[in-house]
A and B are shown apart, each in its own frame.
Chain A
Amino acid sequence: MDKRISPRFGPLVLKAHLEIYGEPYEGYVINLSREGAFVALEEPPAVEAEVAVRTLLPFKLGEFEGEARVVWRSEAASVSQDDASCIAGVGLRFASVPDGSNDRLHRYLARFEELASRLDELPALEDADSSLSMAGK
Chain B
Amino acid sequence: MSLEGKLEDVNLLEVMQIIAFAGRTGTLTIESARTSGTVLFESGAVRCAFSTSTLPILSGLCRRPKADYPGVLLRDGIRTTLHELAAVREGRYSFSAESALPVDYAGVELSKFIDSEGIEPQELILDLARDFDVARRRLLALLRSADPNSPVDEGEQRPEAVKDLLEAIVEPTASGAQGIARILARIGSRYVERSVLFLVDGTTIHGPDGSELDRNQCESLALAIHSRNPIARHIHDGSLGIPLPPGDAPEYALIPLVYYHDVLAILLCDNFRTGEPVGEISGLALFVEQAGMAMEKSSLERRLQVMEHPLSLANQGPLVQVATPMLRE
Contact = CB atoms under 8 A, between A and B. Distances in A.
Nearest to B102: A132
Contacts of B13: 13
A13 B126 contact: yes
Interface residues of B, number: 43
Interface in B69-89: none
A54 B94 CA distance: 31
B262 A135 contact: no
B97 A122 contact: yes
Interface in B198-219: 202-203, 216
Contact of B3 (A9, A11, A13, A122): A122
B25 A125 contact: yes
Contacts of B129: 13, 15, 28
B310 to A, nearest CB: 28
A60 B18 contact: no
Contacts of B128: 13
Contact of A119 (B22, B29, B227): B22
Contacts of A118: 1-3
A12 B222 CA distance: 23
Contacts of B2: 118, 122, 134-137
Contacts of B9: 59-60
B313 interface: no
A96 B29 CA distance: 40
A58 B202 CA distance: 16
Interface string B7-23: 00111011001111110
A83 B125 CA distance: 14
Contacts of B216: 63, 65
Given A60-B226, A131-B97, A10 B10 contact: no
For B4, B10, B18, B227, the residue with the greatest tally of chain A CB atoms inside 10 Å of its CB is: B18
Contact of A11 (B10, B20, B227): B20
A112 B98 contact: no
Interface of B: 1-4, 9-11, 13-14, 17-22, 24-27, 29, 94-100, 121-122, 125-126, 128-130, 133, 202-203, 216, 222, 225-227, 262
Interface of A: 1, 9-13, 15, 17, 24, 26, 28, 30, 40, 54, 56, 58-60, 62-63, 65, 83-84, 87, 112, 115-116, 118-123, 125-128, 131-137
